[in-house]
Amino acid sequence: MLSSAVVLGGLAALIVTSPGWPVVRDTFFSLSEFKASFPDILDGFWLDVKLFLVTEVVVLICGLGIALIRTTWGPALLPLRLLSTVYVDVFRGIPILILVYMIGFGLPALALTGVPTDPFVLSVIALGLGYTAYVAEVYRAGINSVHRGQRHAALAVGLSEMQTLRFVILPQAVRRVAPPLLNDFVSLQKDVVLVAVLGPQEALRAAQIASGETFNFTPYVAAALLFLMVTIPLARIVDRFGNPGVARS
């Protein structure tokens, strides 16, 4: 603890005594600019939170569905298994920002009846497609980690395949993959800012507008602080799930 304080103190002293610190302070840490831009950035941040929560629900449900398809070996599901495998391979390989561009601008360009044009809905689709592929693999790893003997034992005592999956396999699988799932959602919570390219005035977009008006970067710092208020608690939750003994000590 003392060594950390010494190192951090040394770094702080080095920064504030550097020749360019006054310029950096006025450009990135202006209190007046922070106060002026913070209300609009906070309004945009609530849109980020809403987008994150909606996308998280979609990803949890769709990811579990794909994982179940990939781990079920019935012959009738072979076409679905192949499709789900292709889906995971493709959408895990496309950067999220490219997905946002493709879905956000590509779907409306089709001009088809019933195709959504609302930026919020398009953002949920783009983020959901990308993160569902990651989460599906996390679920699949958890399901495969449960020993086959437990499935056989459940079937031996009279449970059906569906009951075995629901009451024996899935509870253990979800508990085992909770830390990586939470880690994915920490990343998702940050990646929601990518939807700024579609036009919604979320936190990053609000910071860009404020910064463009004053040529000051303090609004970006304000946006970063808001995201830290969410990501740091999520990170601590991940630590608690991943190291329960340490967390309780």
Give the domain extent around 148. 52-200
Mean per-residue pLDDT over the chain, rounded: 88
Mean pLDDT of the region 193-201: 87
Q: How many residues does the chain have?
A: 249
State the pLDDT confidence band at 10, using cuts at 50, 70 and 90. Answer: confident
| Contact by Cβ (8 Å): 219, 211 | yes
Mean pLDDT of the region 175-203: 88
State the pLDDT confidence band at 242, using cuts at 50, 70 and 90. Answer: low
Place of tokens 């710092």: 221
Q: What is the model's pLDDT at position 243?
A: 60
* Burial classification of residue 202, based on how many CB atoms lie within 10 Å of its CB (0-12 exposed, 13-18 middle, 19 or more buried): buried
Mean pLDDT of the region 55-74: 91
Residue at 240 is within a domain: no
Residue at 170 is within a domain: yes
State the pLDDT confidence band at 217, using cuts at 50, 70 and 90. Answer: very high
Mean pLDDT of the region 115-128: 92
* Burial classification of residue 25, based on how many CB atoms lie within 10 Å of its CB (0-12 exposed, 13-18 middle, 19 or more buried): middle
Residue at 196 is within a domain: yes
Contacts of residue 92, defined as CB under 8 A and 6 or more positions apart, other chains included, come to 130, 133, 134, 137
Structure tokens, 48 = 């980020």
- State the Cα–Cα distance between residues 185 and 181, nearest whole angstrom: 6
DSSP H helix total and E strand total for the chain: 13, 0
- State the Cα–Cα distance between residues 226 and 217, nearest whole angstrom: 15
Residue at 159 is within a domain: yes
pLDDT of 222 strictly over 70: yes
Residue at 59 is within a domain: yes
Q: What is the model's pLDDT at position 129?
A: 95
Structure tokens, 73 = 């070996």
What CATH number has the domain bearing residue 77? Answer: 1.10.3720.10
Amino acid at residue number 167: F
The count of structural domains within the chain is 1
pTM for this entry: 0.85
Residue at 63 is within a domain: yes
Per-residue pLDDT of 144-181, as tens digits, reads: 888 888 888 888 888 888 888 888 888 888 888 888 88
Cα 239–243–246 angle (5° rounding)? 100
pLDDT of 125 strictly over 90: yes
pLDDT of 246 strictly over 60: no
Residue at 156 is within a domain: yes
- State the Cα–Cα distance between residues 154 and 141, nearest whole angstrom: 20
State the pLDDT confidence band at 134, using cuts at 50, 70 and 90. Answer: very high
Q: What is the DSSP letter of 200?
A: -
Residue at 102 is within a domain: yes
Q: Among candidates 190, 174, 230, which has minimal Cα distance to 61?
A: 174
Structure tokens, 223 = 């946006």
- State the Cα–Cα distance between residues 165 and 67, nearest whole angstrom: 12
